[in-house]
Amino acid sequence: MSAMPPPQDVSAVSDQSAATRGQRIALLAGLVVALGVMLQLFASVLLPFVVAAGIAYFLDPLTTRLSKIGLPRSYAAMLMVLALLAVVLIFALLLYPLILAQISILFGRVPEYTTELRAFAADQIAKLQDKLGPDVIDEKLRDLVGGQAGSIVSFVAQALRGVIGGGFALFNVLTLVIVTPVVAFYLLRDWPSVVARIGGWLPRRYSGILRAQAHEVDRILSAWLRGQMMCCVALALYYSTALSVVGLDLGLIVGLTAGLLSFIPYVGSITGLIAAVGLAFAQFPTWTGVIEVGVVFIVGQILEGYVIYPRFLGDRVELHAVWVIFALFAGGAAFGFVGVLLAVPVTAIIGVLCRFWLRRYLDSPLYLDPPTPDATLLDYEA
């Protein structure tokens, strides 16, 4: 018989295991803290890099297909980036004159809208005065409401001018034309090697679990990103076309805004409906135009709920609308526009981890252990 191994010190093994567990927790906490500090310090310069990473992630499947048919990865990445730039430039060149023309129409009709809104407010106050009496609604209140209505229209017009000017100032030529495409090309070219290198850094003990969770995050995130982009484009085309057909002066801008904001559930449609109905009240002398605008958004909601979203998203995305809304607003409040871009990926990761730990809990004795036979409600309360 072979000699039995000497007995091990149980306390030493326990201490070593506890120390190893503590090191893993410290490493994970350190990575989270470092990521948060980096976002706080460099949020103002991260925008082109985050956008470039999103572009590379979106174009990676097509680039991989091109490389599999014999095209070198570098050429495939360059071709995809140039194709995306061409689409964006063509889209901007086609829409830019139309958007400027509609903005000019808006600013030219601000005095007319102000007069009509003042007349509408004065008429409503007069009706209230007839019902409630002159003691409740006096002449000064009527003048005050009419003046404030005109101020509101002027304020909205000036705010729109500031938002448009600020948006073009934010996305400056250097960021859009040079930094983002260049970074996107390098990330797209090296995407497989970057993923492989990160996979090689995973701890051996949990490598299989982490890879499985990463694949689950990729499945959910890719389905949401590509499906949501198709939904936004489809809704933007529908709203802008339909509102222009019914004759709304700013139908193109309102429709594009409503469609592009639809990545936030209900926010795009509600914002577009309020803006379109308000403009319809100011533009159309009868209720017919307002009703037509309302019908456009009702049909849009039907298409969105029963045709567009089931077709492009379906049941592949395990992200509840409430969590998406919360994540977008929380990311924007914490890190600005970069936080909005990172909100859905972070939410997808958190959702996958929560479902993983829930499965672990449901398979654990903590959940499966039956109650003791003599246990009563008073025992649990005690």
Every domain of the chain and the residues it spans = 227-316, 318-365
Q: Does 4 score more than 50 pLDDT?
A: no
**Contact predicate 340/332, CB 8 Å:** yes
Report the SS3 class of residue 315: coil
Mean pLDDT, the chain, whole residue set: 78
Q: Cα separations (Å) of 129 from 12, 141, 144, 148, 218?
A: 88, 10, 14, 18, 62
For the stretch 323-356, pLDDT in tens is 888 888 888 888 877 788 788 888 888 888 888 8
pLDDT of residue 91: 81
Q: Which residue has the tokens 């500031």?
A: 162
Instruction: Pick the range with the lowest mean pLDDT from 41-55, 179-193, 239-253, 361-375.
Output: 361-375
Residue that is written with structure tokens 């489809």 in the block = 234
Q: How many Å apart are CA 361 and CA 359, to the nearest integer?
A: 5
Tell me the DSSP string of 247-289.
Answer: T-TTHHHHHHHHHHGGGSTTHHHHHHHHHHHHHHHHH-SSHHH
Closest C-alpha to 218, from 190, 244, 198: 198
The pLDDT of residue 189: 94
What's the pTM?
0.69
pLDDT grade for 155, boundaries at 50, 70 and 90:
low
Per-residue confidence (pLDDT) for residue 158, from 0 to 100: 56
Rounded to whole angstroms, the Cα distance separating 59 from 188 reads 7
CA distances from 323 to 148, 189, 335, 347 (A): 38, 33, 17, 8
Whether the per-residue pLDDT at 147 is higher than 70: the answer is: no
44 versus 41: which is more confidently predicted? 41
| Confidence band of 268 (pLDDT split at 50, 70, 90) | confident
* Amino acid, single-letter form, for residue 233: V
pLDDT at 166: 46
Q: What is the pLDDT of residue 11?
A: 47
pLDDT at 83 over 90: yes
pLDDT at residue 12, as a whole number: 46
CA angle (347 as vertex; 333, 20 as ends), nearest 5 = 110
Would the pLDDT of 266 be above 70?
A: yes
d(CA 326, CA 324): 5
Coil, helix or strand at residue 323: helix
Give 139's Cβ-side CA count (13 Å radius).
0
Distance of CA 113 to the CA centre of its chain: 33
Q: State residue 69's pLDDT score.
A: 92
Query: Which has the higher per-residue pLDDT, 294 or 176?
Result: 294
Higher pLDDT, 202 or 152: 202
Confidence band (pLDDT; 50, 70, 90) for 154?
low
Query: What per-residue confidence (pLDDT) applies to 288?
Result: 85
pLDDT tens-digit series, residues 107-138: 676 677 667 667 766 677 677 667 666 655 55
- Between the alpha carbon of residue 125 and those of residues 98, 111, 285, the distances in Å are 38, 21, 19
Sequential DSSP letters for 112-173? HHHHHHHHHHHHHHHHHHHHH-TTTS-HHHHHHHHHHHHHHHHHHHHHHHHHHHHHHHHS-H
23 three-state secondary structure: helix
Q: What is the mean pLDDT of residues 31-50?
A: 82
Closest CA to 351 of 252, 239, 241, 223: 223
> In this prediction, what percent of the chain has a pLDDT beyond 70?
73
Lowest mean pLDDT among 111-125, 143-157, 352-366: 143-157
Compute the distance between CA of residue 260 and CA of residue 326 in angstroms, rounded to an integer: 18
